[in-house]
Amino acid sequence: MDTLKKILFSNRLTGVLFIAFAVAMAIGTFMDAGQETSPTPLTRNLIYNAWWFEAIMLLFVINFIGNIFKYNLLNKRKWPVLLLHLSWVFILLGAFVTRYISYEGVMSIREGATESSFLSEKTYLTVYIDGDYEIDGLQQRWYTERPVDFSPRMENKFSFNATFADIPISIKLTKFINGAEEDVVFDENGDYYLKIVESAGGMPHNHFLKDGSTENIHGTLYTLNNFIEGAVNISFDENYDLFINSPYDGEYIVMASMTQGLLEKNMPEPLNLRARYIINNQQLVFPKPVIKGVFDIVKKSELLKSDQDGLELLVSTPEESKLVRVIGGKGTNNAFKTFTVGNHDFTIRYGSKVYDLPFSIKLNDFIAEKYPGTDKSYSSFASEVTVVDEETFDYRIYMNNILNYQGFRFFQASFDPDEQGTILSVNHDFWGTLLTYIGYILLYI
């Protein structure tokens, strides 16, 4: 025991810990060079969230506390050294609270809308398992929510085993698809679909018209081989040539040749693929011909940035094994995917979890100011919001003006491309922030 104390509270160990800590931070910085954010999943998995990095910080705390008593730093003549040691202890304890207790995420609000929830910064794989299994007449369900952190820069590994109704079940990641989207892939036994890429709020959204169906896209009806008066009717013949008949005047521009044309209302005419149409104030592109197939998760074109990723999972029961693909990722909260394997029903979602606030925030106005003579270079941007609670009040959130309310801190992070909505970073870390600030104050003193 005495030998252990000498090792833990020696100046040599302190020096080694400082060097190891600095080297690890430097390596992490170089590994994240050129990335959009830092830390990335790679450095989080290999360094910052690794057990050995946390062990370094734990040894720091033990070493600093032990040195207080070893060198009698409680003596008032040694108060500067005592404050130095206490500052590091508080900073590291604050980091511990932030890492294991606190949480953060993002909140998107459109102008005039009110939100009372936000999406977590972390991503999770949520799984429900149902089957013919009851206890005391009550239907049973197995549930888990596992934090995951995947990256195309890593050899991603993830698996877990469960037992439901005494039956072993396993789920294993077999493939990570970076930059994925849901699309129709060819299948002889599938249905005919036409893909529409529509831009609302400055962001592209995929829609799929099924043969014989009708789709309502932001108040405008679109059909495929299903003529309806007052709708934008699209049809195709036996040669799969597409035609469009619109109740609105419109225009289009063919991307490849940059030729422009007018769309005359109530007049059927050939539909141009990969052309940008403007119909009833909506911007649309029909990127490819009608395809016979089924929906699947595929890698998105490198030319088109995707904010979602895909997971291919091998779900196994004693009766059957099945490959299943789900789409999601950081900042997404897609619908659950339901499927059956063996005698069990599975419900899976990949993405951020939803945190509910004890109050609401309404975005009254988003203000983006540009530098003179520029269209995309912003000098500042701010959110005029109203906090809706027992006591309602207005607040302006901008770069150095943070909304701090009921333990939640709201930062101005970004905004929608059409400047009609804001994106706020939300942090719930009262105790972690307090401990860290105490440490910094002591260090400054």
Say if residue 7's pLDDT is above 60. Answer: no
- Residue matched to tokens 């360094």: 47
Q: How confident is the model at residue 303 (pLDDT cuts 50, 70, 90)?
A: low
Q: Which of 428, 439, 433 is nearest to 117 (CA)?
A: 428
51-70 vs 79-100: helix crossing angle, rounded to 10: 150
Answer yes or no: are the C-beta atoms of 373 and 391 closer than 8 Å.
no
Model confidence over 305-335: pLDDT tens digits? Answer: 667 999 999 999 999 999 999 999 998 999 9
The percentage of residues in the chain with a pLDDT greater than 90, rounded to a whole number, is: 66
Query: What's the confidence (pLDDT) of residue 9?
Result: 58
Q: How far apart are CA 437 and CA 444, in angstroms?
A: 10
Answer yes or no: are the C-beta atoms of 347 and 127 closer than 8 Å.
yes
Query: What's the confidence (pLDDT) of residue 304?
Result: 58
Model confidence over 361-385: pLDDT tens digits? Answer: 999 999 988 888 777 788 889 999 9
Q: How confident is the model at residue 4 (pLDDT cuts 50, 70, 90)?
A: very low
Residues 6+ apart with CB under 8 A from 382: 366, 367, 396, 397, 398, 401, 412
Answer yes or no: are the C-beta atoms of 323 and 314 closer than 8 Å.
yes
Query: What's the confidence (pLDDT) of residue 365?
Result: 95
Answer yes or no: are the C-beta atoms of 343 and 129 closer than 8 Å.
no
Mean pLDDT of 381-398: 94
Q: What angle do CA 29, 31, 36 make, to 5 degrees?
A: 80
The residues pairing with 292 across neighbouring beta strands, listed in sequence order, are: 192
Query: What's the confidence (pLDDT) of residue 306?
Result: 64
Model confidence over 18-29: pLDDT tens digits? Answer: 899 999 999 999
**Taking the CB of residue 330, how many other CB atoms lie within 10 A of it?**
20
79-100 vs 430-444: helix crossing angle, rounded to 10: 160
State the DSSP string of 317-372.
Answer: -SS-EEEEEEEEBTT--PPPEEEEETTEEEEEEEEPPEEEEEEEEEEEEEEEEEPT
Model confidence over 79-88: pLDDT tens digits? Answer: 888 998 899 9
Give burial (CB, 10 Å; 0-12/13-18/19+) of 196: buried
**Taking the CB of residue 85, how many other CB atoms lie within 10 A of it?**
19
Say if residue 58's pLDDT is above 50. Answer: yes
Residue 233, Ramachandran bin (φ over 0: left; ψ between -120 and 50: alpha; else beta):
beta
**What one-character DSSP code corresponds to residue 248?**
S
Q: How far apart are CA 233 and CA 217, in angstroms?
A: 13
Q: How far apart are CA 247 and CA 233, in angstroms?
A: 9
Query: What's the confidence (pLDDT) of residue 109?
Result: 95
Q: How far apart are CA 98 and CA 92, in angstroms?
A: 10
Distances (CA, A) of 301 to 183, 223, 289, 298: 12, 27, 17, 9
Q: Which of 182, 266, 183, 191 is nearest to 230 (CA)?
A: 266
Q: How far apart are CA 51 and CA 380, in angstroms?
A: 41
Model confidence over 197-235: pLDDT tens digits? Answer: 998 766 778 899 999 999 999 899 999 999 999 999 999
Say if residue 337's pLDDT is above 90. Answer: yes
Q: Give residue 445's identity as a one-letter amino acid code.
A: I
State the DSSP string of 304-321.
Answer: S--S-EEEEEEEE-SS-E
Query: What's the confidence (pLDDT) of residue 33?
Result: 87
The distance from CA 301 to its chain's CA centroid, rounded to whole angstroms, is: 20
Element (H, E) at 141: strand 138-148
More confident residue, 17 or 10: 17
The distance from CA 387 to its chain's CA centroid, rounded to whole angstroms, is: 25
Say if residue 302's pLDDT is above 70. Answer: no
| Helix residue ranges per DSSP H, 9-50 | 11-31, 41-43
Mean pLDDT of 144-158: 92
337-341 and 344-351 beta bridge pairing: antiparallel
Model confidence over 94-130: pLDDT tens digits? Answer: 999 998 999 999 999 999 999 999 999 999 999 999 9
Residues of 4-23 as b/e, b for ≥16 C-beta within 10 angstroms?
A: eeeebbeeebbeebeeeeee
**Least confident window among 41-50, 59-68, 89-98, 295-304:** 295-304
pLDDT, averaged across the chain: 90
For the chain, how many residues are written?
445
